[in-house]
Amino acid sequence: MIKVGIVGGTGYTGIELLRLLVLHPEVTVSVVTSRSDVGRRVDMLYPSMRGHMDQVFVTPDLDNLKACDVVFFATPNGIAMLLAEELLQLGIKVIDLSADFRIQDPVLWAKWYGQSHACPELISHAVYGLPEINRVLIQEASLVACPGCYPTATQLGFLPLLETGVVDSSSLIADVKSGVSGAGRVAQVTALMSETGESFSAYAVSGHRHLPEITQGLESVANQSVKLTFVPHLTPMVRGIHATLYARLVDESVDLQALFEKYYEEEVFVDVLAPDSYPKTSNVKGSNRCHLAVCRPQGGDQVVVLSVIDNLVKGAAGQAVQNMNLMLGLPEDQGLKLVGLYP
Amino acid sequence: MIKVGIVGGTGYTGIELLRLLVLHPEVTVSVVTSRSDVGRRVDMLYPSMRGHMDQVFVTPDLDNLKACDVVFFATPNGIAMLLAEELLQLGIKVIDLSADFRIQDPVLWAKWYGQSHACPELISHAVYGLPEINRVLIQEASLVACPGCYPTATQLGFLPLLETGVVDSSSLIADVKSGVSGAGRVAQVTALMSETGESFSAYAVSGHRHLPEITQGLESVANQSVKLTFVPHLTPMVRGIHATLYARLVDESVDLQALFEKYYEEEVFVDVLAPDSYPKTSNVKGSNRCHLAVCRPQGGDQVVVLSVIDNLVKGAAGQAVQNMNLMLGLPEDQGLKLVGLYP
Amino acid sequence: MIKVGIVGGTGYTGIELLRLLVLHPEVTVSVVTSRSDVGRRVDMLYPSMRGHMDQVFVTPDLDNLKACDVVFFATPNGIAMLLAEELLQLGIKVIDLSADFRIQDPVLWAKWYGQSHACPELISHAVYGLPEINRVLIQEASLVACPGCYPTATQLGFLPLLETGVVDSSSLIADVKSGVSGAGRVAQVTALMSETGESFSAYAVSGHRHLPEITQGLESVANQSVKLTFVPHLTPMVRGIHATLYARLVDESVDLQALFEKYYEEEVFVDVLAPDSYPKTSNVKGSNRCHLAVCRPQGGDQVVVLSVIDNLVKGAAGQAVQNMNLMLGLPEDQGLKLVGLYP
Amino acid sequence: MIKVGIVGGTGYTGIELLRLLVLHPEVTVSVVTSRSDVGRRVDMLYPSMRGHMDQVFVTPDLDNLKACDVVFFATPNGIAMLLAEELLQLGIKVIDLSADFRIQDPVLWAKWYGQSHACPELISHAVYGLPEINRVLIQEASLVACPGCYPTATQLGFLPLLETGVVDSSSLIADVKSGVSGAGRVAQVTALMSETGESFSAYAVSGHRHLPEITQGLESVANQSVKLTFVPHLTPMVRGIHATLYARLVDESVDLQALFEKYYEEEVFVDVLAPDSYPKTSNVKGSNRCHLAVCRPQGGDQVVVLSVIDNLVKGAAGQAVQNMNLMLGLPEDQGLKLVGLYP
């Protein structure tokens, strides 16, 4: 059995990793760390894990982690970059769910994340863990930077359009709606049910940290500069992201449905719905799937792509496990054969 | 006291009209009709009205309505156009919350509403009831067509940009999110809590009935043709609309904040938030206000306008009462001094 | 105009007081205090107040409050007892929405609230502000302790049974469900939407602070000791309390419906529904009403009373305004003619 | 592989059966019937099934079902009783998720379900499918009547108390709260999001169909008559049941925590939480588990049991699969190793 460790096991991506990994047939969760809950049983903090694991939280240090084959970081930004190098030197594979290794340019990273990067030399070794574009690189990687939730939903929707060059890459719009679990398990007034229940609002319109990440990803497939307007919104639900993406067609002869179906025909976790279907986040809740639809309202030159994921699964923990499977040579969907929890 | 009648008092816009009108100091609700609930007390069907009214539902015929000064239609589309003419001939003012008189072109109306119009000759007499652009006409009108909920939020956000010509009117985008009360008090699987709770989805992307209405309204102020991509979404909440509007600046020197503040400085129900504020639907829940914010992410040429209303108030019943006040020469905000029910 | 001050204007009961008082015809809100937001406009923190008030938050000291006629405390427990005496000496009426003066026994208070009482000598001067039982006392009071939200819903449901002695007072059960706004506008993990949305749980079963308050209130009308099992629950909604109350009939001949209707026939804010009706919290959302139903399943000896209120209105701010009206000799329902925001 | 058929595959228990069975290692879903959707792909109606099955709905007749080893009925009441006999005669095992075979007394059944029973002679052959009390009988059964959702949560909470006789069985109270998916995938106004979102109410207080089922189950373990007051409530969430159960202790010396832990120590799906823990429905969402807590507030003679399940899993489809496993000699938890989808 492959031994995995989870650093930062008390947040929502941490518990979601546990949910997936305790049922993964090739893996045993041997270490779960938490600074705040050392010595406490994991299933005391997370009763959903009762009957599935009996570990206690330990401190996140090398001693506790060195016997692992793979270590996941489900930590706030700025933690993984402090520990990754030592783990890698021990031959441990590192899968980072935080933002530490997503941006290739450390200056850009520092600007958006408000701190200088602790190990800039490692960034270029990190592979951006979106399997649909980086599968081969991920298979050979020892350090994978898992994409953010917004970037996953947004890139999967735009990729077929940008790689084929059928749209104008200088005026893209991503209007994205997220459930509140994206805000994390952190005490804050803005994420209270009284603030977010029965209400809808945009936020960070002037600039969200996921913008440079998305732009970087889109430019790498477009092979040209990309200009994106990205507006995130908070939706009164717990899980789910719905990206509504807009682009202007430059090739009006293209069959968009065929383009999308072909682009993703080999992908097990990206699923192009039939024409005139609209994806619902509840259909992918708890699953690692992305449901896509592509439309061209009134036959005009504006393409609308609808892309839904579960932000905690394909947008975080599920994609991390998918990356782990690739890195370890396991079947890509092992432990990820999940049906959406509808209704 | 002015005597008002409400035709179709059993839907959500009907009960919302009642909520507002029973507290209006110049008005008495003398008739409430319902085909399905004749003889039943209104407050049996709607216990929220207990202590506020003791009427019973009556049949929606001329005999019951002829003593009214004003009649509101809170009916499905296709009803008001059958009764309006007779009421008008009796000198009764008619305020229609349905779509019957919103579209000036009866052929276009027939195409989108799937039936031919019963009194096309009356359409040109109807005034489109968006007071912020038609105040004077409304004051003199005897027949007012209240705007739809999506059109209200969308037009109020786009108007300052289009009237001043600072944006390209050929590539507008309205990404609009609505609470489920917009679907009405109608038994249907798609509006069940099990379907819409904890889920988010787009619908009618290929074409929604509010599209021609919005386009007509925007073109009338833009004085040129307008091309709009309109994508409505269903949000897991009961009340509220959040429109996120996108337009490309053609005049990059414009001070957008100043433009919006000036445009609406005399409006009591349209409120431009301070820079870097983002409107929340819960701040206008139950009130007749529209909160607006205008942004220009990263100083680029893409304008983003955020516009929120309560779909049942400024998007329906509240705006109808505002129109009534104008038509009767009452203060425009009478009976509408409402504070949003936050949280 | 009567000048009112609100101490602690940044919590949910504070903003709810503002919502009600800015529309009250006899009152002007002259002071709103907040330690954390001094100098900030109230409507910056609470955009729902835009257009309704232009005050800024000031510090909660005597200098700022001394010109008021009435001061409301919408503070955490333990604050009102520090300031009340000085205000009363200035002839200012004090209405406390916190728990400081609810419990007549200071030793019992200290036990449940974890601190000793700062002015025990004042407690006996405080009138418990449940108008339905203490109306005359409230009219003459200078210090009123407003009941908690659970106690209001629970007592209004039990009172007719206990005052007439038709049930066994030694085995009462109150199974009460609250929306999460009852937890306040405080950053805490347990009140996050991710924790409370789409979930239901009991809490504080072993003992909740509202238990001694309810027991005290029930005993005062029962004229005998009362034994109550009180189980509070957190419900995935923002506003509303639903109390389901159980008692064993000792007089099986009683006509419960008639008893309840008679008991509350003069009460404007307590409303007994028709037989076989079940109250919904959404019917009283935003209003100061309590809807009650009384049932006797299968004609047995178990009485079930259903009692719903809006926890922030009849359970807090609305009842406080009702008390203010009584204390000032105003009509009891002035500023409180509110229709529930359904749907 | 065992071939299973699902009659009535379009409701919420039907789709939940599919979710579980497509991942069950010993089973293949060979037939899914639906009168209304014959010929339509299952994953067109339920996009959450995409990638997991390619069947189309067929008509619910013997021809389509005769090759099955097991047939589940996820139908409205009154359907299974028409088809069960023929299936049983073909040697097919029948697992009924509807109420047709739950009540042993056909006269009582007819009274509560408003129709006479079509095959009363079969009722006594049906085993009530609550494995925690009927495991051996289920293993030998060919016809199993799966318990209702309320009865499952309620009985699992009361069983330890009644079987040991430590409480008075003549004054039990079950105050039970359900998510709205319990109302089914049926177009009805009362289950609209606009009606049930942000609202809480009781219903059917005068008598709910699950009352006789619960009473029958409790009496069979109590070996004496049981008197239960059962009050169901609708909660603004999709999935989950929370039962709050009240009973009066007659043996005050009992260690309730120890009693419950011992009673369920061998049960894989019933889990007694540590003292002072309170179960949350979100911890069992999507899983087949029941979380229990038992309390004795203030050390009095009133026992409070808290019992939570996912109404669609342990309250319906999961329990049905658990029964199938038992009937087929498979490990009881096969296909049911599910972690609750928290958050």
pLDDT at B9 over 90: no
Are the Cβ atoms of C23 and B277 closer than 8 angstroms?
Answer: no
For the segment C51-71, what is each residue's pLDDT rounded down to a tens digit? 999 999 999 999 999 999 999
Structural domain including A30 reads 2-125
Residue B160 lies in a domain: yes
Query: D83 and D189, same structural domain?
Result: no
Residues of B classed as catalytic: 149
Same domain, A96 and A175: no
D121 and D161: one domain?
no
Task: Tell me if chain A has a CB within 8 Å of the CB of D319.
Answer: no
Partners of residue C193 in chain A, C-beta under 8 Å: 180, 191-193, 195-197, 236, 238
| Longest alpha-carbon distance in chain B | 62
Which of D168, D176, D198 to substitute to test the interface with C, most C CBs within 10 Å?
Answer: D198
Residue A333 pLDDT: 98
Residue A319 lies in a domain: no
Mean pLDDT of all residues in B209-232: 97
C-beta atoms of C205 and D278 within 8 A: yes
- Does D19 contact A341 at a Cβ distance shorter than 8 Å? yes
Average pLDDT of the segment spanning D241-268: 97
Residue keyed to tokens 């786009």: B158
CB contact under 8 A, C236 and D238: no
Q: What's the pLDDT score for residue A9? A: 84
Same domain, C32 and C98: yes
Q: Which residues of B touch C198 (CB under 8 A)?
A: 197-198
Q: For residues B340 and C16, what is the distance between their CA atoms, to the nearest angstrom?
A: 10
Residue pairs between chains A and B whose CB atoms are closer than 8 Å: 154
Q: Report yes or no on D78 lying in a domain.
A: yes
Q: Which residue in B52, B271, B274 is closest to C51 by CB distance?
A: B271
Asked whether residue C89 is domain-assigned, the answer is yes
Nearest to C103 by CA among C91, C111, C94: C111
Pair D121, D162 in one domain = no
Q: For B225-256, what is each residue's pLDDT tens digit? A: 999 999 999 999 999 999 999 999 999 899 99
Q: Is residue D317 part of a domain?
A: no
How many angstroms separate the CA of residue A265 from the nearest CA in chain D? Answer: 12
**CATH number, domain containing residue C20:** 3.40.50.720
Q: Is the predicted pLDDT of residue D58 greater than 90, yes or no?
A: yes
Domain with residue D280: its CATH number is 3.30.360.10
Q: In sequence order, what are the beta bridge partners of D229?
A: D173
Q: What's the pLDDT at B267?
A: 98
The span from the CA of A241 to the CA of A218, in Å, is 19
Instruction: Look at C340 and B181 and tell me if their CB atoms are within 8 Å.
Output: no
Residue C50 lies in a domain: yes
φ, ψ (nearest 5 deg) of residue D144: -120, 135
Q: How many whole angstroms separate alpha carbon C81 and alpha carbon C120?
A: 9
Same domain (yes/no): B71, B114? yes
pLDDT tens digits, one per residue of A15-36 = 999 999 999 999 999 999 999 9
Find, among A320, A14, A51, the residue nearest to A335 by Cα. Answer: A320
Residue B91 shares a structural domain with residue B191: no
- What pLDDT was estimated at residue D188? 96
Looking at the complex, report in whole angstroms how far the Cα of residue C115 sits from the nearest Cα belonging to chain B: 30
- Is B281 in Cβ contact with A171 (below 8 Å)? no
Residues C188 and C112 in one domain: no
Mind telling me how many Å the CA of A83 is from chain B's nearest CA?
34
pLDDT number for residue A328: 98
* Co-location of C15 and C114 in the same domain: yes
Name the token pair of C156.
């209004």
- Give me the active site residues of C, please: 149
pLDDT-based confidence at A269, cuts 50/70/90? very high
Q: Both C153 and C81 in a single domain?
A: no
How far is B279 from B272, CA to CA, in rounded Å? 9
- Report the DSSP pairing between strands C290-295 and C270-272: parallel
Summarised one tens digit per residue, pLDDT across range A182-236 is: 999 999 999 999 999 999 999 999 999 999 999 999 999 999 999 999 999 999 9
Query: What residues contact residue D276 under an 8 Å CB cut-off, 6+ apart?
Result: C206
**Chain A residue numbers touching D181 (CB-CB < 8 A):** 343
Give whole-number Cα distances, A149 to A130, A315, A320, C199, in Å: 11, 4, 12, 23
**Residue C177 near chain D (CB below 8 Å):** yes
pLDDT at B291: 98
Alpha-helix residue ranges (DSSP H) falling in chain D:
12-21, 42-45, 62-65, 80-89, 106-113, 120-123, 131-140, 149-163, 193-196, 210-222, 256-263, 318-328
Q: Which residues of D are catalytic?
A: 149
Same domain (yes/no): A171, A301: yes
Q: Quick one: pLDDT band at residue D139, thresholds 50, 70, 90?
A: very high
Q: Does a structural domain hold residue B142?
A: no
Option in B179, B244, B343 nearest A195 (CB):
B343
Closest-CA residue to C235 (of D201, A277, A180, B215): D201
Q: Is residue D119 part of a domain?
A: yes
Residue matched to tokens 């330690």: C35
Tens of pLDDT along D142-163? 999 999 999 999 999 999 999 9
Percent helix, strand, coil in chain B, to 5, is 35, 20, 45
Please give, rounded to a whole number of angstroms, the shortest distance from the CA of D193 to a CA of chain B.
4
pLDDT at site C252:
87
Residue by residue, pLDDT tens for chain C (343 residues) are 999 999 998 999 999 999 999 999 999 999 999 999 999 999 999 999 999 999 999 999 999 999 999 999 999 999 999 999 999 999 999 999 999 999 999 999 999 999 999 999 999 999 999 999 999 999 999 999 999 999 999 999 999 999 999 999 999 999 999 999 999 999 999 999 999 999 999 999 999 999 999 999 999 999 999 999 999 999 999 999 999 999 999 998 999 999 999 999 999 999 999 999 999 999 999 999 999 999 999 999 999 999 999 999 999 999 999 999 999 999 999 999 999 999 9
Partner C, chain D 203-262, Cβ-Cβ below 8 Å:
203, 205-207, 227, 229-231, 233, 235-240, 242, 244, 246, 248
Name every chain C residue with its beta carbon within 8 A of the beta carbon of A238.
193-194, 197-198
* Residues A238, C198: C-beta atoms closer than 8 Å: yes
Q: With beta carbons less than 8 A apart as the criterion, state whether A52 and A43 touch.
A: yes
Same domain, A120 and A154: no
Number of domains in chain D: 2
List pLDDT tens digits, range B140-184.
Answer: 999 999 999 999 999 999 999 999 999 999 999 999 999 999 999
